[in-house]
Structure formats: C-alpha cells, structure tokens
Amino acid sequence: MYIEDIRLINFRNYNSLNIKLNKNMNIFIGKNAQGKTNLLESIYICATGGSFRTNRDRELINFYKNEAYIGANVNFNENKRLIEIKLDRNRQKRVKINRVELDNLKELNSGLNVVIFSPEDLKIVKDGPSERRNFLDLSISQIRPVYKYNLNRYNKILYQRNNLLKSNKSKNDIINLIEIFDIQMAKTGTEIILSRKEFLNRLSNESYIIHKQLTSKDEKLDLNYISNVDFYNKNKNEIENNFLKKLKSNVRKDLMTGSTEIGPHRDDIEIKINNMNTRAFASQGQQRTIVLSIKLSQVEIIYMEKGVYPVLLLDDVFSELDGERRKYLSKSFNKMQTIITSTDLLGLEELEKMDKSIFYIDEGEIVYKE
Ligand SMILES: Nc1ncnc2c1ncn2[C@@H]1O[C@H](COP(=O)(O)OP(=O)(O)OP(=O)(O)O)[C@@H](O)[C@H]1O
Ligand SMILES: [Mg+2]
C-alpha cells in the first residue's frame, strides 16, 4: 500500500500543494514551523478520519479560509483509491472515496493504513493511562472498524450514566434508574475489553521479539493489560457478569463522586522492562526504544491483518535515534512506503543509497525537490 500523490488546499499553513510521492522513501526537510508535521497530519487524517493533534476539525482549516481540502491517491495492490476530505467551518467534515461520499467514517478504515511515530508518542510510556488508552483505541480502530463504533457507544452510555449520578434525583430513584445503563455499559464495555485484550496480546508478543533485537542488552519488554473488570481467563459472559456485579456494588461510591469508577474507560497498559515498571525509571533513550518496538509491532499487526504493509510516518524521530537503532529501523524501510520529516539531512546518512525523494518545505510550500 502506498500513497501516489497528495493534494492540499487551505489545510493549516498550506494554501495549495500538489505532490507526487516516492513509492519507497520520502524525506521532508524544513526549519521549525514550516509545515512538516502538518503534512503528516493530513495523511493521517486520510487514514483515520481524524487528526492525532486535535479533535477540533476547524483548527485544520487555514486561519484565513472557510474551507479546506485533502486529497490522496492510494495504491492498494494496484487498485487505486482516491481519498478526499472536505473541511468546512460551518459543517461536519465530508469524506469521499473514489468520488462517492461516505455516510459513515467507519468505512474509511479500509482505504489507507498508517503508523505514525512522533516525539509526542513518548507520552505512551511516561504519561498517564489516558495516553495509553488513546494509543490502544486508535490502533485497534484502524484494523477493527466495529471497535470505533463500540467505543463511541460506550462513551455515550458512560456520559449518560454520569449525568444521572450527578442529577438531583433521590438516591433511590437513581439506583433504580441506573440499571438500564449498567446493562448496556457491561455489554458494550465487554466488547471493548475483549478487543483490547486480543490486541494487547498480539502487541505484547510482537514487541517482545522486536525489543529484544533492538536492544543489545537483551531487554525483556512486557506489556500487560490492566482493567478493573476481571477478564483474566474468563469468557465473554463471565466478563459481562463480573462487570455488571461490580458496577452494582460500586454504585454508592459512584454517587458520592458523581462519576463511574468501574469500566474500560479507566484501563491501562503496564509496560515493564526486565520486570521493572518503565514509567518510573526508563531513560529517554529507553522510552524511545520502547515506543519504537511498539510502533514496529503495530506495523506487523497491520500487515498480518491486511496482507499489506501500512505507510510509515516518522515525524522528526529518525535522527534522534542512536546509530544501532537507526540501522534496525532502516531495514524496515524496504518493506513499506516511509515518510520522514527532519530539520536537516544530518543523521539521515543511512538513507543515502535508498530510492527516495527529498522535499524541502518552506512556509507551506515545496521550494525544491531532489
Ligand atoms: N489552521 C492554520 N492555519 C494557518 N497556519 C497554521 C494553522 N495551524 C497551524 N499553522 C501553522 O503551521 C505551522 C506549524 O507547522 P508544523 O507543526 O507542521 O511545523 P513543523 O515544520 O513540523 O515544525 P517543527 O520542526 O517545529 O516541528 C505554524 O507556523 C502554525 O502557525
Ligand atoms: Mg513538527
């Protein structure tokens, strides 16, 4: 799978851009604030329907314009797909594939798959659980469209349940009314737990192997799914029943806090190296290597699911890695189309012999191409 060309109109700091990409390696060089990350963001939106930087679509439209457009021609096993996104300040974004408008963004998932690695991703290791949940949600949504649907549904039910907990109805009324939400939450939440469990299993196995190869010190990377609903060695029905029971027994506490304590919206991933928790002790370099292992595993999982490799997006991270890891990572560049951004060519020497295109960006324009 690869992107043949990209067209941007009024997207962030791009007025009008029209470029052909190399099937293999693409390098975008530019000083700070010229539009490197913006370009990767536009590609990411074609794949997932949303940005990795913001939930507010309006921010994507150029400050001085009311509409924006992203278009990408994707080659998928020699089948061509034109993905088009239209953003408008006054209405919801619209997505077209091969000129047919989608009524549901879910379908976008089969169009283009990407894996992005940016400095922000270090948060997966060092920040709080919500970063890790977010990573899980975005990764699973790309390969399981129904997951996105379940997640939206779950969040809606959770929101309604919390509203009820905070309402000025009597305690007894609330406890009577809440059961409808509990049943739905347990049902949808169990689907989420099962998907996360399955994905993490695979991610853990893959990244264990990759991390070992990446570290000469033979670090054992271990990812564990943490949930306050007991899922271990349990089938779907058992998880759902546990979930429901726990919601019920916790309702008085929930009433006091006005929020729901039980459920996958509080899940986490425990990341350990040689049995030690990384959040507390991992060095910057170790954090980067862990994220690299995780991202390369995500690449392999997409390959196993789709039979083709995704497009790999590396935002300013390649030159930050040390020589050994750069070498390892560059081996995977032969498998898939890769798009790298950097402020200069220093640290990109490994890529010298590759078939590639180099683009120089200046204030939202490609001023030079090699
Ligand atoms: N909606 C928008 N309209 C116009 N310009 C925007 C919009 N959103 C962001 N920008 C501009 O885009 C620029 C940032 O672009 P981007 O984040 O792609 O930079 P970058 O090249 O990745 O820089 P760095 O090397 O610092 O990461 C900023 O100057 C910002 O003001
Ligand atoms: Mg950037």
Could you list the mean pLDDT of each consecutive 10-residue stretch along the chain, which spans 370 residues?
97 97 96 97 93 93 97 93 95 92 69 93 94 95 90 96 95 94 98 97 96 89 96 94 97 96 97 92 91 97 94 93 91 95 89 92 90
Instruction: Tell whether 237 and 284 lie within a shared domain.
Output: yes
Instruction: Tell whether 93 and 10 lie within a shared domain.
Output: yes
Ligand number nearest to the C-alpha of 12: 1
Record the pTM.
0.94
Instruction: Tell whether 192 and 208 lie within a shared domain.
Output: yes
Q: How far is the CA of 14 from the centre of ligand 1 (A)?
A: 9
Number of domains in the chain: 2
Q: How far is the CA of 144 from the centre of ligand 1 (A)?
A: 31
What per-residue confidence (pLDDT) applies to 338? Answer: 97
Instruction: Tell whether 31 and 151 lie within a shared domain.
Output: no
- Report whether residue 12 contacts ligand 1, using a CB cutoff of 6 Å: yes
What per-residue confidence (pLDDT) applies to 346? Answer: 83
Instruction: Tell whether 136 and 157 lie within a shared domain.
Output: yes
- Show which of 275, 306, 337 is a domain's final residue: 306
Instruction: Tell whether 109 and 154 lie within a shared domain.
Output: no
Residue with CA at minimum distance from ligand 1 atom 9: 12
Instruction: Tell whether 152 and 105 lie within a shared domain.
Output: no
Q: How far is the CA of 39 from the centre of ligand 1 (A)?
A: 9
Beta strands, E only, 162-275: 221-226, 268-273
What per-residue confidence (pLDDT) applies to 57? Answer: 94
- Report whether residue 24 contacts ligand 1, using a CB cutoff of 6 Å: no
Ligand number nearest to the C-alpha of 62: 1
- Report whether residue 343 contacts ligand 1, using a CB cutoff of 6 Å: yes
Instruction: Tell whether 99 and 216 lie within a shared domain.
Output: no
- Report whether residue 30 contacts ligand 1, using a CB cutoff of 6 Å: yes
Cβ-proximal residues to 98 (8 Å cutoff; 6+ apart), any chain = 81, 82
Q: How far apart are CA 6 and CA 18, in angstroms?
A: 6
Instruction: Tell whether 151 and 266 lie within a shared domain.
Output: yes
- Show which of 276, 306, 336 is a domain's final residue: 306
- Report whether residue 14 contacts ligand 1, using a CB cutoff of 6 Å: no
Residue with CA at minimum distance from ligand 1 atom 13: 33
- Show which of 288, 306, 324 is a domain's final residue: 306
Instruction: Tell whether 133 and 237 lie within a shared domain.
Output: yes
Q: How far is the CA of 94 from the centre of ligand 1 (A)?
A: 23
What per-residue confidence (pLDDT) applies to 87? Answer: 97
Instruction: Tell whether 43 and 128 lie within a shared domain.
Output: no
Q: How far is the CA of 256 from the centre of ligand 1 (A)?
A: 44
How far lies 351's CA from each of 119, 168, 175, 313, in Å? 20, 63, 63, 15
Instruction: Tell whether 64 and 155 lie within a shared domain.
Output: no
| Range of the structural domain that residue 60 is part of | 1-113+308-370
CATH number (domain holding residue 317): 3.40.50.300
- Report whether residue 310 contacts ligand 1, using a CB cutoff of 6 Å: no
